[in-house]
Amino acid sequence: MNRNYIGKYESKFIFLIEEKDNTKIIDNENNIITTIFHKEISSQYNLSLIAYCYTLNRIYFIFLAKTEDKEIKNIYSGLYDLKEKEYFPISLPELNITEIIDSIPIKDHTTIFEQNKIMFFGGFNIKDKSKIQKGCIIFDISIYKFEKIKFSEFTLIPRFKCGSTSQNGILYIIGGYTSLEQKNENITELVQFAKFYEGKLHKFNVAKIEKESPKEMINNSVFIVDDRYVVSFSGFNYCKLWIMDTKDNSGKNYDLRNYGIDGKNDENNFYECIQCDIKDEKNINLIIANLVNSKINIINKDIPY
């Protein structure tokens, strides 16, 4: 089951829950906004969601179509308009799909949405499941087209199960494993960033972190607060938070067990930080969503900065 926070619509937090035969969008009061039935998109193949983005009251989806033997056959895209309350399929160029299908990540990747483009980093593709993806795939939602970019130009550390975000043309990638052996010693503490402007992705650099680097960030959510703080949250092994102040690149780790949040991510539970307010550099207000199967519980917690 794929469970993720999408964003805020009107006064509600909205979430995506992908099940075997459908993808649901629900709010923080557990109201179902819509259910997208996969068979209505493709009656022939099984679908799995590999990317989504949320912008201007629209949620864009990218699905992989697979046979029962998990052979990739097609890529489907569509959007759900929250205002119009309707799902619209998007027609993709067949030639473009043929060019990209062997390279597109199928699992454990991260995506960034910036300037109308969904960018795929890390994870594994269908062509070689034993190697971490070294390329970057971009899907432009303004022209509905994929683009493949070589990785050698960007010096991004290959990683999977990492987190990412962007704001004002700056991309950040944090955490993840750098080896197929999923051991704690193979979780990278390196934070990388790159600029994206004029439609072009520029070189990734390693941020020089003062004080504390991010610890044990796996399947982490990453976001920017107040155009200043880079925040990373993970429920791997236990709930934890890392905050970097971009004014001086000083980082600090928070073990949230010390503040009464004792859960961790497993088959039934998924924790995700959906809002972080830093007040006067003294206190942090966290809103954490705990998705238990298909139900959402909201945790509101104040901790010292």
Instruction: Measure the CA angle with vertex 249, ends 195 and 180; round to 5°.
Output: 70
Predicted local distance difference test score (pLDDT) of residue 149:
81
Number of neighbours of residue 210 by Cβ within 10 angstroms:
13
**Among 69, 64, 59, residue whose Cα is nearest residue 41:** 64
Predicted local distance difference test score (pLDDT) of residue 223:
96
Q: How far apart are CA 228 and CA 170, in angstroms?
A: 12
Predicted local distance difference test score (pLDDT) of residue 189:
97
Q: Percent of the chain, pLDDT > 90?
A: 78
200, 184 Cβ separation under 8 angstroms: no
Distances (CA, A) of 171 to 137, 147, 219: 15, 18, 17
What is the sign, positive or negative, of the torsion defined by CA atoms of 255, 256, 258, 263? Answer: negative
Instruction: Measure the CA angle with vertex 62, ends 180 and 98; round to 5°.
Output: 80
Q: How far apart are CA 298 and CA 234, in angstroms?
A: 16
Predicted local distance difference test score (pLDDT) of residue 154:
58
pLDDT tens for 83-134 read 999 999 999 988 788 888 888 888 999 999 999 999 999 999 877 778 898 8
Q: How far apart are CA 158 and CA 204, in angstroms?
A: 12
pLDDT tens for 189-226 read 999 999 998 888 888 999 999 999 999 999 999 999 99
Does residue 161 carry a pLDDT above 60?
yes
Instruction: Give the position of tokens 């139900």.
Output: 295
Average pLDDT, the chain: 93
pLDDT tens for 250-274 read 999 999 999 999 999 998 899 999 9
